[in-house]
Amino acid sequence: MLSEFDLIKQYFKRSGPNQARPARAALGIGDDCALLAPSPGMQMAISSDMLVEDRHFFAGADARMLGHKCLAVNLSDLAAMGARPVAFTLALALPAANPAWLGEFAAGLFALADLHGCELIGGDTTKGPLNICITIFGELAPGHALRRDAAIAGDDLWISGTLGDARLALAGYRKEYALDDAAQLMAGTRMHMPAPRVALGLALAGARLAHAAIDISDGLVGDLRHILAASNLGASLNVDALPAGPVLAAQPQALRRQFCAAGGDDYELCFTAAPEQREAILAAAIASGTAVTRVGTIVAAPGLRLVDAHGCALDLQLDGFDHFASA
């Protein structure tokens, strides 16, 4: 059986040519603390996400995809703030130290970390029910953060990428909805391997193109309500303008509406911006390789109004995911 210290050394401590970029930390894994010096004048953006077996992923989930996903959800929080990824810590509770699982998990984790130049600088390992907690650090210039409370009445409402395929995959796994194998595989990849919109977030914040932003983890409607509450504003959302994922796009309208508006696990950005920025936002989207779609308007009157393609009110029973509401 691997010891705790061997485990860290073997799977999570990297040095020399294996490292994709020069180390950002003044001191990394192996002491009581890591030491990190942000670039002069920059703020640190910090976020923590905890993923639990049977809650955020299935028992027996593919370890490589899990390594990707647990970092992706944290990178997505940096993207939603417009921060550049710098480093992260990993705390891991494992039922046992399984070398094959650890090798795959680390491979998935570091592949995504290297893609974003984000360095593992410390953490903790312990025995316990499988639980993965990553705290991520980014940096951004003061005043550039895409805050939830920064929407302005009259702003356009935008969505990156596509929505709903992750929720569709879940419905398929749960046998709530029948999908053929190819569709299940394609939608499942979207659920297991989300692509955090880091480049788009950086472009929106760096050039101050957007006002407010949030990443869509619990479902668009629920997450959008956080922006509206923080900004003390309302919105009109055209549900039929929401960009469905390629698998969901081939399903019936009622399912499309439901899973686009409140699917969850999308890790797309929902952001608001002044109408004068439309051209610049489309250019930023092309430059960052991320599609964006205009799906509504921020208004002064509180509340979220869902409308169809004709502007008629829709009475959908939608809500975001709440970890304790279903308890």
List, as residue ranges, the binding site. 32, 47-49, 56, 77, 123-124, 148, 215, 217-218, 265, 321
Q: Are 261 and 235 in contact (CB under 8 A)?
A: no
Contact flag: residue 9 with a second copy (CB under 8 A): no
Position among 59, 178, 312, 327 found at the interface with a second copy (CB under 8 A):
327
HSE-CB at 245 with a 13 A cutoff on CA atoms is 29
For a second copy, which is the closer residue by CB, 141 or 282? Answer: 141
Please state the closest distance from residue 223 (CB atom) to a second copy, in A: 10
Which 23-82 residues touch a second copy, going by CB under 8 A? Answer: 26-27, 30-38, 40, 42-56, 77-78, 80-81
For a second copy, which is the closer residue by CB, 135 or 162? Answer: 135
Please state the closest distance from residue 276 (CB atom) to a second copy, in A: 25
50: its two tokens: 């905890």
> What single letter denotes the amino acid at residue 65?
M
Contact flag: residue 125 with a second copy (CB under 8 A): yes
- Give how many residues touch a second copy by CB under 8 A: 74
Contact flag: residue 97 with a second copy (CB under 8 A): yes
- CA–CA dist 45, 59 (Å, integer): 31
User: What distances in angstroms separate CA 173 from CA 69, 131, 188, one per listed residue?
Assistant: 18, 22, 9
Which 155-184 residues touch a second copy, going by CB under 8 A? Answer: none
Q: How many CB atoms lie within 10 A of CB 17?
A: 6
For a second copy, which is the closer residue by CB, 91 or 307? Answer: 91
For a second copy, which is the closer residue by CB, 75 or 284? Answer: 75
Burial, 161: exposed, middle or buried (Cβ in 10 Å; 0-12, 13-18, 19+)? buried
H or E stretch at 74: helix 63-81
Contact flag: residue 196 with a second copy (CB under 8 A): no
List binding-site positions for Mg(2+). Answer: 32, 47-49, 77, 124, 215, 218
Please state the closest distance from residue 215 (CB atom) to a second copy, in A: 6
For a second copy, which is the closer residue by CB, 212 or 247? Answer: 212
Contact flag: residue 138 with a second copy (CB under 8 A): yes
Please state the closest distance from residue 127 (CB atom) to a second copy, in A: 5
- CA–CA dist 298, 315 (Å, integer): 19
Please state the closest distance from residue 40 (CB atom) to a second copy, in A: 8
Q: How many CB atoms lie within 10 A of CB 81?
A: 23
- Per DSSP, helices labelled H in 215-325 are 220-231, 253-262, 278-287
Contact flag: residue 122 with a second copy (CB under 8 A): yes
Residue span 303-322 as binding mask against a second copy, x where in contact by CB under 8 A, dash where not:
-------------------x
229: its two tokens: 């509450």
Which 205-234 residues touch a second copy, going by CB under 8 A? Answer: 213-215, 230
Contact flag: residue 96 with a second copy (CB under 8 A): yes
**Beta strand 84-94 pairing with 131-140:** antiparallel
- CA–CA dist 181, 128 (Å, integer): 34
For a second copy, which is the closer residue by CB, 178 or 325? Answer: 325
Please state the closest distance from residue 67 (CB atom) to a second copy, in A: 17
167: its two tokens: 């929720």
User: What distances in angstroms separate CA 139 from CA 24, 74, 79, 83, 148, one per listed residue?
Assistant: 12, 14, 11, 5, 18
